[in-house]
Amino acid sequence: MPKTFRILIWLAVAILGALALATVALHRGEQINAMWLVVAAICTYAVGYRFYSKFIAAKVLVLEAQRATPAERLENGRDFVPTNKWVVFGHHFAAIAGPGPLVGPVLAAQFGYLPGTLWILAGAVFGGCVQDFVILLFSVRRDGKSLTEMAREEVGRLGGLVAYVAVISIIVILLGVCALVVVNALKASPWGTFTIAMTIPIALLMGVYLRTLRPGKVLETSALGFILVMLAIFGGQWVSQNPSVASWFTFSGPALAILIIIYGFAASALPVWLLLAPRDYLSTFVKLGTIALLALGIVALRPVLHMPPLTRFIDGSGPVFAGNVFPFAFVTIACGAISGFHSLISSGTTPKLIRRETEARMVGYGAMMAESMVAIMAMIAACVLQPGIYFAINSPAGIVGQAPEAAAATISNWGFPITAAEMHSLAQSVGEQTLYNRTGGAPAFAVGMAHIFSNSLGGQALMAIWYHFAIMFEALFILTVLDAGTRAGRFMLQDALAHVWKPLGRTSWYPSILATSALIVGAWGYFLWQGVKDPLGGINSLWPLFGISNQLLATVALCVATTIIIKMGKARYVAVTLVPLIWLVAVTFTASWHKIFDPNPRIGFLSHAAQLLSSPGANVRLIFNDRLDAFVTGTLIVMIALILIESAVEWVRVLSGRKQARVKESPFVATRFVTEEQG
Amino acid sequence: MKRSITRAATLLASALREIFDESAYARFLDRRKLTSSREAYAAFCREYEAAKARRPRCC
């Protein structure tokens, strides 16, 4: 293609993107079509990938097509396998796409669609995609080493320790919050609870089928599992319509929390093939299909966004969670913009599959763009709802009141008209008794998704089926994160405890399995219990805590990346990772300060504890929870401050010439693939 | 056009086989010079369990 033509095409893409972004950002007073968000996102990603990631690949990382990757050098047919780049892309995307990009944008929609959308786009192009790309490449150049190992080798011993603590903390907080989202979606919902309960025997059946009848036929087994899950959704409708059966599956929040804690413990202790692996396959199958379906639904329906670009809640008085748009919009949306958790995947399986170094750009940068697009779709799903409906679903009873009329009146007074009759009718159309106070984001996302799906396929008659399909999708997805996370956390704990007493590190020794499983489940179970007992719905306290811990892990990853870039002698390009690092430090440190010390009891843990203490009949447990949350946040911040200082000292020593800049890369070995291609 | 579609379909199938560990199982059989059976799959699960179970799912 002639160069002039290429320039004109990219100019057109850039102008279209700018036009779409201007429409998204500057439109006031009128509703806009969701396609503007889609076009703005696609053009932004296209320009970011074509120019920014190419710049990073060529100038900063200097990708070497001739350098053999660990997949080639250490090929063993097991962990290290040279794999086609599109296959690795799919594998990496399936590994990084979790419930975060679905829930975070839905919660942040309380500020309007604008802050979240801009953060998702800018955060991904300049932060998240860069982090995933550079960490993937650095891991590839170090034989697939993990983030913790790279932190220890390149930054220092403290860096390794902080990375370890950050990882285990984020796992515990993540699991507690995820479980809370499921509890809030399933409480008093026999249909949803039945469907999700059925996924357990379905997974067991899949495990046995896969092991005994059709060994290794995972896709076939997953497709069968999917059919059974769809039947369970229809079965759930029958259950919900039969009061005597429905009562067996109608649970309060605390009862569901106990059931999920028992499930988490069982999943951690049972053999992987029996429950964990089949559920994982089933969840991935549903996840990939549903994300594709949602994208098609949005394009087919081209819905109008009813949520305004900015709401009054940017002042920090939001009912979904309290806190100003800065910094809280930026910690609420972590996955989809920048997620520290991705650095674990980028330094886990993926670097061992990359066939050519140059392919790290498409896999690392590209897959994160795809995840960011999922976050944009979640934002659209939340914003196609009437704002009154959105706030009725997402606001806790402690803010809007228990009675439907009182809640509708409070929300209408905020300027988002809604009536109790409308909410009742909506609840009936989706097969629920009520949709009030369903905090956590999942039910609002499910209603938005059902709205998009039912308007594209099946009409209002299928609204309830689509709603419960969406709830099943989210809950299955989240419970998979929960069981895999519990087990991964258990292994990490066993690795650490082995330094204290060797037998504790034996992953096949049942006393150790039971003790460490109990410790991990107990830790996230405590956060879950705290959430279900919180009069403000739990999300107000716990989701920001999760966002902070996730982005603190991103801070660790960017510290490691910045250190390596300086040691590579590329200090003039250090802004590529240093700017997102500075931004994340500003966001997370400010958010942490507010969460600990803010005088507003809805924001600050300590002021909330003080308020409880001064009220008659103070609840000692709630006060303890607030102080514990403040302690956890403070500890994480101190640890990250330490790794920042350690990194900065290393940068100064290298830049001032007091320390020789030497990166700990594997030696260069020429790839055979170039010769093969040339031959 | 037909070739491109076939190639895209093949790539999609390969990606799905990799995501769903069917390729890993095929490599296992190839490495151990085994044919697919209950025993072979059980051995694969045992070997694969340690690696798979250590991977947290992303948020």
Q: Give the structural domain span for A340.
A: 3-188+251-593+624-655
From chain B, pick out residues whose CB is under 8 angstroms from the CB of A212: 38
- Domain membership flag for residue A231: no
Distance CA A119, CA A49 (A): 17
CB contact under 8 A, A91 and B16: no
Look at residues A396, A507, A420, A376 and name the one whose alpha carbon lies nearest to residue A109. A376
Q: Flag if B11 and A84 touch (Cβ within 8 Å).
A: yes
Do residue B53 and residue A91 have CB atoms under 8 angstroms apart? Answer: no
The per-residue pLDDT for A676 is 62
Confidence of residue A661 (pLDDT cuts 50, 70, 90): confident
CB B53 within 8 A of CB A275: no
Whole-number pLDDT of residue A574: 97
Distance CA(A60)–CA(A52), nearest Å, equals 11
The owner of tokens 């002698």 is A569
As to burial, measured by CB atoms within 10 angstroms (0-12 exposed, 13-18 middle, 19+ buried), residue A664 is: middle
**Pick from B36, B50, B55: CB nearest A215:** B36
Considering only the beta carbons, identify the residue of A77, A95, A284 that sits closest to B27: A77
Give the tokens for residue A179: 């479980």
Residue of B nearest to A275 (CA): B53
- Model confidence pLDDT, tens digit, residues A390-423: 999 999 988 998 899 999 999 999 999 999 999 9
The C-alpha atoms of residue B13 and residue A383 are separated, in whole angstroms, by: 35
Report the SS3 class of residue A311. Answer: coil
pLDDT band at B6; cut points 50, 70, 90? very high
From the list A618, A598, A551, the residue with the least C-alpha distance to A104 is A551
pLDDT at A138: 97
**Shortest Cα distance, chain B CAs vs residue A574, angstroms:** 27
Looking at A261-275, A315-329, A443-457, A619-633, which range is the least confident one?
A261-275
Residues in chain A within 8 Å Cβ distance of B18: 83, 87-88, 90-91
Residue A245 domain flag: no
Instruction: Measure the CA–CA gap between A501 and A517, rounded to whole angstroms.
Output: 17
ipTM of the complex: 0.89
In a domain, A161, yes or no: yes
Residue A198 falls within a domain, yes or no?
Answer: no
Which one of A94, A219, A341 has the shortest CB-CB distance to B59?
A341
pLDDT of residue A344: 87
> Mind listing the pLDDT tens digit for each residue in A109-144?
999 999 999 999 999 999 999 999 999 999 999 999
Q: How close A174 comes to chain B (CA, Å)?
A: 7
Question: Does A274 reside within a domain?
Answer: yes
What is the mean predicted confidence (pLDDT) over A453-478? 86
In this predicted model, what pLDDT tens digit does every residue of A343-377 receive, in sequence order?
Answer: 988 998 899 999 999 999 999 999 999 999 999 99
Residues 6+ positions from A74 with CB-CB distance below 8 Å? A80, A143, A144, A352
Q: Which residues of B touch A100 (CB under 8 A)?
A: 58-59
Secondary structure letter of residue A275 according to DSSP: I
Check residues A381 and A505 and name the one with the higher pLDDT.
A381
Q: Residue A617 to residues A338, A534, A605, B31: CA-CA distances in angstroms?
A: 42, 16, 19, 68
Task: Please give the Cα distance from A531 to A537 (Å, whole number).
Answer: 6
- Nearest chain B residue (CA) to A507: B50
CATH number for the domain harbouring residue A334: 1.20.1740.10
- Residue numbers in A near B24 (CB within 8 A): 78
The pLDDT score that the predictor gives to residue A617 is: 79
Residue A215 within a domain: no
From A406's Cα to the closest Cα of chain B, the distance in A is 35
Q: For tokens 């291609």, name the residue.
A: A677
Q: Which two tokens stand for residue A273?
A: 């093939």
Angle at alpha carbon of residue A41, lines to A37 and A43, rounded to 5°: 120
Average pLDDT, integer, range B26-43: 93
CB-defined contacts A:B, below 8 A:
133
Burial classification of residue A330, based on how many CB atoms lie within 10 Å of its CB (0-12 exposed, 13-18 middle, 19 or more buried): buried
0.90 cut: is pTM over it?
yes
Residues with Cβ within 8 Å of A641's Cβ and at least 6 positions away in sequence, in order, are none
Enter the DSSP assignment of A303.
P
Residue of A nearest to B13 (CA): A87
Considering its fold, how many domains does chain A have in total?
1
The DSSP annotation for B1-59 comes to -HHHHHHHHHHHHHHHHHHTTHHHHHHHHHHHT----HHHHHHHHHHHHHHHHTPPPP-
With beta carbons under 8 A apart, name residues in chain A contacting B55.
95, 348-349, 484, 488
